[in-house]
Amino acid sequence: MRGSYILLTRVQKGVEIRVGRLGMVEFQPGFYAYVGSAMNSLEARIRRHLRSEKKKFWHIDYLLEIADVVDVIVFESNEMRECEIATALAREYLSIRNFGSSDCSCNSHLFYLGTELPSHLANVIKAV
Q: Which tens digit of pLDDT belongs to each residue from 91-121?
A: 999 999 999 998 899 999 999 999 998 877 7
Q: Give the integer Cα–Cα distance in Å for 104 and 16.
A: 25
Q: Which tens digit of pLDDT belongs to each residue from 7-64?
A: 999 999 999 999 999 999 999 999 999 999 999 999 999 999 999 899 999 999 999 9
Whole-model pTM? 0.93
10 Å Cβ neighbour count for 93? 20
